[in-house]
């Protein structure tokens, strides 16, 4: 399984970013400008898990507010809450709804182009992603990806 990261710039254009750069930003070791994309006051990140044929298995979305170029603690907590809180429906929680706001209207087309697939191949979408899961579970990102590899073998 392959993990690819994409970020929307301040103009709403999607860019692929290097894993080591986005992981350093997530861990607070680098400011958001380290991803190499011009951002405004938030980081809009998509993490795409892809199979051995590089087809998307699941794409995770997370919006993180920035202050002085770094992810804010409140924003990080909001993202965790969106990923873990439940109401009657999975994404009815206010934190989850906030995560789904503010994305460019053409994100499906841009993501499909970036992944070199048809839009209808973007079937599984979620909130959070491997960065947040690894942080919450206290394990390396590679272990999260391994979990998904094993789950994909069982029809994710």
pLDDT digits (tens, 9 = 90+) for 46-74: 999 999 899 999 999 999 999 999 999 99
Question: Would you state the pLDDT for residue 93?
Answer: 81
Query: What is the CB neighbour count within 10 angstroms for residue 24?
Result: 15
pLDDT digits (tens, 9 = 90+) for 83-111: 887 666 667 788 888 888 889 999 999 99
Mean pLDDT of the chain: 91
pLDDT digits (tens, 9 = 90+) for 106-131: 999 999 999 999 999 998 888 899 99
| Residues 112, 55: Cα–Cα separation, whole Å | 10
User: In this structure, are residues 22 and 4 in contact, taking their beta carbons and an 8 Å threshold?
Assistant: no
Sign of CA dihedral 108, 113, 115, 119: positive
Q: Answer whether 0.85 is exceeded by the pTM.
A: yes
């Amino acid at each position: 399984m392959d993990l690819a990261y994409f970020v929307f710039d301040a103009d709403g254009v999607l860019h692929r970013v290097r894993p080591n750069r986005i992981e350093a930003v997530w861990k607070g070791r680098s400011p958001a400008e380290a991803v190499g994309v011009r951002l405004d006051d938030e980081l809009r990140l998509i993490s795409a898990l892809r199979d051995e044929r590089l087809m998307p298995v699941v794409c995770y979305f997370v919006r993180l507010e920035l202050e002085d170029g770094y992810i804010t603690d409140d924003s990080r907590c909001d993202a965790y809450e969106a990923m873990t809180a439940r109401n009657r429906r999975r994404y009815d929680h206010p934190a989850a709804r906030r995560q789904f706001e503010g994305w460019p209207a053409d994100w499906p087309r841009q993501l499909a182009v970036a992944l070199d697939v048809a839009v209808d191949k973007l079937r599984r979408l979620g909130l959070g992603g491997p960065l947040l899961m690894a942080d919450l579970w206290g394990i390396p990102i590679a272990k999260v990806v391994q979990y998904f590899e094993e789950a994909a073998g069982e029809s994710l």
